[in-house]
Amino acid sequence: MQPPHTDSVQWILEVEPKDIAYIVGTFEAYDGLAVVRTLDPKRGHIELMITPDFESDVASVVEALSREIPVQILSR
């Protein structure tokens, strides 16, 4: 039996809690670019689950978002 295969890269971001819905909507508009999961809504911690082929595209979207709203990358 083979171990589970991971096909995604996880980034953890910290954002303002009020901006979580905006970020989710932004990534939903880019169908398939990343899946957003809220880890801690009070602290504004979200996880982006990214297909490795799209990691540079996600970086561009996160950079663009950071010009509009406070975004801190906690881990990549």
Over residues 2-11, the pLDDT tens digits come to 545 568 999 9
The domain of 51 spans 9-75
Position 61 in a domain: yes
Position 38 in a domain: yes
Mean pLDDT of 24-51: 96
Average pLDDT across the chain, whole number = 93
Q: Which residue has the higher pLDDT, 68 or 1?
A: 68
What's residue 32's pLDDT?
85
- End-to-end CA, the chain: 29
Cα–Cα nearest to 12, from 44, 57, 52, 55: 44
Mean pLDDT of 32-57: 96
Position 36 in a domain: yes
